[in-house]
Amino acid sequence: MAKQMRLTCYGRAQSRPEWESPFGGVTFDLFFAELAQELERFGITLERGIACGEVIEVKSYGDLLNSVRIASPSDGISNVCVGHVIGQSPHLDPLEDIRRAVNRIAFAPETVAPDSENRKVCHNCGCGC
């Protein structure tokens, strides 16, 4: 059975335009299709989740990363934010950071600290980390 993963982008309020542009229409659609195709070669199915009206107020780049969630039920990861997975981003490139986080959960989920670690990684997103 193939590993199933889900990527969900919550709504964002007060985000900077340069951070929002990668999430717009065709740009994100192409990025997602490419990422899903890359993972498919390894028997991993990546699907897009539905945000269900969740909105994150974006006051920092960390908040932007926290608005993107990854789930991998077979690894015991139900809905973790990108900021929790990769921590501080070196290049402030949302698509690069999403790719890094998805690949980390796809290929090394044991390296993602559980929520019980109580690390101060993010805030304002409701994930509890």
Q: What is the rounded average pLDDT of the residues 73-81?
A: 92
In the prediction, which pLDDT does 89 show? 83
Handedness of CA 106, 86, 72, 48 (dihedral sign): negative
Containing 107, the helix (H) or strand (E) segment is helix 94-107
Q: What is the rounded average pLDDT of the residues 6-30?
A: 87
Q: What is the rounded average pLDDT of the residues 1-28?
A: 87
β-pairing, 11-13 vs 77-81, is: unpaired
Q: Is the pLDDT of residue 120 over 60?
A: no
Q: Is the pLDDT of residue 121 over 50?
A: no
Confidence of residue 22 (pLDDT cuts 50, 70, 90): confident
Q: Is the pLDDT of residue 100 over 90?
A: yes
- What average pLDDT does the chain have? 86
Containing 81, the helix (H) or strand (E) segment is strand 77-81
Question: 21 or 104, which is more confident?
Answer: 104
Question: 49 or 52, which is more confident?
Answer: 49
Please name which of 42, 26, 25, 31 lies closest in space to residue 7, comparing C-alpha atoms. 31
Note the pTM of the prediction, 2 decimals.
Answer: 0.85
Confidence of residue 125 (pLDDT cuts 50, 70, 90): low
